[in-house]
Amino acid sequence: MAFHFQVITVFPEMIQAAMAAGVFSQAQKSSLLELSCINPREFTTDVHRTVDDRPFGGGDGMIMLPEPLQKSIEKAKAQQPKAKVIYLSPQGKPLTHQKAQALSQESGLVLLCGRYGGIDQRIINQFVDEELSTGDYVISGGELAACVVMDAVSRFVPGVLGHKDSVDKDSFAEGLLEHPNYTRPREYQGESVPEVLFSGHHKKINEWKELVSYLVTLQKRPDLIDKSKTQKTLKEAYKYWQGLSPQERDTLGLKTLKDEDFHG
């Protein structure tokens, strides 16, 4: 059975457009994934098809009415009784690699998108299993966040990624950022591809990738170093970095790594 994403949104065309390219779209065609949208406007009865109203007590922004949302959730649940209901909101926990992987173990998800100033709290209380955010910044609604969740989760659904692109090798699986990559030509604008990559010595190449990953992470996201369970020690990375020329450091993208970064 395909993993079924059901998105509740007043902008279904935004969802369909965003998911119409790349691996997600291919996986839909091969029936590994299913995507459907439910528009709360279907469940309005007035001529204006109203889905929102002013907040009680005043304040900026309109709030989405509970009834069209409840009916949308009930329609989704009628198709997938066991699916988790996730509300995309700035108040949610930020999505992580671990969370995306855990959600891929479900049989499907109902993703509820708010617009305007959010939704009536009673819908969250009565129907939402989990609240998720994409990060600590404001976007205009839940739709782009739902697309981010679907993209990240679907990568863990068996068969969605070709065997050539494995999720286990993704940088966040290891807790570190990825090493730099190079393709032809071997020399470009005065910069040469690191010699080790031509050695054909796969053990050596993998050790190099791990070391450079560690250094890139130390430079760009030192906060990740503490959380990662990498075997590579700070000392080993420092020794390797000290042996590099300024040109070699530039080519590895390590321009701004400083001696102090190893001692903090």
Query: Quick one: 38 or 88, whose CB is closer to ligand 9D3?
Result: 88
Q: Which stretch binds ligand 9D3 (CB under 6 A): 83-91, 155-163, 191-199, 205-213?
A: 83-91
Query: Quick one: 117 or 175, whose CB is closer to ligand 9D3?
Result: 117
Give the other-Cβ count within 10 Å of 199's Cβ: 12
- In 3D, which of 222, 213, 211, 228 has the Cα closest to residue 262? 222
- In 3D, which of 218, 230, 225, 227 has the Cα closest to residue 98? 227
CA 158 to chain centre: 17
Using CB under 6 A, which residues numbered 147 to 176 contact ligand 9D3?
none
Give the other-Cβ count within 10 Å of 128's Cβ: 18
Query: Quick one: 145 or 177, whose CB is closer to ligand 9D3?
Result: 145
Q: Which stretch binds ligand 9D3 (CB under 6 A): 65-73, 135-143, 198-206, 233-241?
A: 135-143
User: CB of 149: closest distance to ligand 9D3 in angstroms?
Assistant: 9
- In 3D, which of 34, 33, 37, 35 has the Cα closest to residue 11? 37
Of 104, 114, 217, 219, which one interacts with ligand 9D3 (CB under 6 A)? 114
Query: Quick one: 18 or 244, whose CB is closer to ligand 9D3?
Result: 18
Q: Which string of x and - marks every residue 40-69 that binds ligand 9D3 (by CB under 6 A)?
A: --------------------xx--------
Quick check: 88 binds ligand 9D3 (CB under 6 A)? yes
Query: Quick one: 127 or 241, whose CB is closer to ligand 9D3?
Result: 127
* Cα–Cα dist 10/59, whole Å: 22
Of 53, 126, 135, 191, which one interacts with ligand 9D3 (CB under 6 A)? 135
Q: What angle do CA 60, 63, 66 make, to 5 degrees?
A: 165
Helices marked H in 181-233 = 202-220, 222-227
Quick check: 141 binds ligand 9D3 (CB under 6 A)? yes
Quick check: 138 binds ligand 9D3 (CB under 6 A)? yes
User: CB of 143: closest distance to ligand 9D3 in angstroms?
Assistant: 8
Of 139, 161, 167, 197, which one interacts with ligand 9D3 (CB under 6 A)? 139
Q: What angle do CA 241, 244, 248 make, to 5 degrees?
A: 115
Of 90, 175, 180, 253, which one interacts with ligand 9D3 (CB under 6 A)? 90
Residue showing tokens 């999505």: 95
Q: Count Cβ atoms within 10 A of the Cβ of residue 70 and give its class: 0-12 exposed, 13-18 middle, 19 or more buried.
A: middle
Number of H helices, E strands in the chain: 11, 9
Answer for the pair 150, 5: CB distance below 8 angstroms, yes or no.
Answer: yes
Quick check: 108 binds ligand 9D3 (CB under 6 A)? no
Chain residues in the site for ligand 9D3 (CB under 6 A): 60-61, 88-90, 114, 117-118, 133-135, 137-142, 145
